[in-house]
Amino acid sequence: MKMNLQLDQIAPLSCNKCCRLVTYLNETKEKQPSWFNAPVPSFGSINSEILIIGLAPGLRGANRTGRPFTGDFAGEILYQTLWVHGFANELYSADGNDKLVLNNIRITNAVRCVPPKNKPIGSEINNCRSFLSLEIDSMSRLKVILCLGRIAHDTLIRHFKLPPKSHGFAHCKEHIIKPNLSLLNSYHCSRYNINTGRLTNEMFNNVFIKLKQIIKN
């Protein structure tokens, strides 16, 4: 993938906090040495007003290309939607060889290394939260955090030490974290959620319509 100035390596490439993930990355490097195979950087300006948090890099997606949501089904849905709503300058390339620039949006993941079977365990989510916290604290203009899926939602409310019962996950639900900062939820744009109808294109578009309304207020 071409160098993109909007890629920001928050977690060090040499991170070894999670033994299971390090082992899996090393095994993948042996099989696919040309892939990125490291903690995936965030994508988008640190000065953005919007932060999107996904689950974790896909094995043949971000772990291969080195850019969040790039190279897999979820990325096709997400970046198409961002382009439709004016948050991206062009349609993206699945191999990352494009000139894609995000507008006022930054994308990251709750877990930055690819997990086996796309399922991080609790300790891995907890270990990676320190990088997410650093990122959030560095975004001085942040107004909305869009969490794609329950795991992203749960790790965020733990960062802010919010009571889970009054900040439950629900699609297109907005929670006020503090003045001028909102949490917005969406089902993850995974192949499974799309194919089962849990998330439709209309439902996903409605999330971004609401997101733009929050930003304007």
pLDDT digits (tens, 9 = 90+) for 1-39: 444 557 878 888 889 999 999 999 999 999 999 999 999
| Residue 169: inside a domain | yes
| Residue 1: inside a domain | no
The boundaries of the domain holding residue 107 are 7-216
Ramachandran category for residue 182: left, alpha or beta (phi over 0 → left; psi -120 to 50 → alpha): beta
| Residue 2: inside a domain | no
The neighbouring-strand residues paired with 181 are 178
For the chain, how many structural domains are there in total? 1
**Residue 137, C-beta contacts closer than 8 angstroms, at least 6 positions apart:** none
Give me the amino acid identity at 181.
Answer: L
| Residue 166: inside a domain | yes
Domain containing residue 27: CATH number: 3.40.470.10
For residue 208, what are the CA distances in angstroms to 8, 85, 133, 216?
Answer: 24, 7, 24, 12
| Residue 155: inside a domain | yes
pLDDT digits (tens, 9 = 90+) for 101-123: 999 999 999 999 999 999 999 99
Distance CA 19, CA 30 (A): 17
Give the global pTM: 0.95
